[in-house]
Amino acid sequence: MILEIAQIDVKPGMESEFEEGVKKAAPIFKRAKGCTGVTLHRSHEMPSRYRLFVQWGTLENHTKDFRESADFQQWRKLVGPCFASPPYVEHVTEVVRGF
C-alpha cells in the first residue's frame, strides 16, 4: 500500500471551484486500478494550499496505470485550471503505526 501525497497550491479565489472539482473527480479515482481511497485536506497556515491523499495498491498503479490513462486527462481537466503551479507529488509508505 502506497500513499500519494500531492501538495497543490491553487489560485487564490479558486478554492471552492477546486474543491468541487475534486468532489466531481471521486468516481475517476474510484474506478482507477489499485486506488482504494482519496481525500482532500486544506492547510490552516496557507488556505490556498491543499494536500490530496490518494491510496494506491502499488506505486505503478499511480505512476503508470493512472497517469497514462484517459482518466488522468479527465482529472486534470476538472482541476488543472485551478492550479497556481504544478503539484508537488511524493509517495510514502507507513513504517510506524503509533496508535
Which residues of the shown chain bind a copy of itself in the complex (CB under 8 A)? Answer: 2-3, 5, 19, 22-23, 25-26, 29-30, 37-46, 49-51, 59, 90-99
Min dist CB 70 to a copy of itself, Å, is 19
Q: 90: closest CA among 64, 65, 66, 54?
A: 54
Min dist CB 37 to a copy of itself, Å, is 6
Looking at beta carbons only, is 70 or 96 nearer to a copy of itself? 96
Q: How many CB atoms lie within 10 A of CB 25?
A: 20
CA 41 to centroid of chain Cα atoms: 10
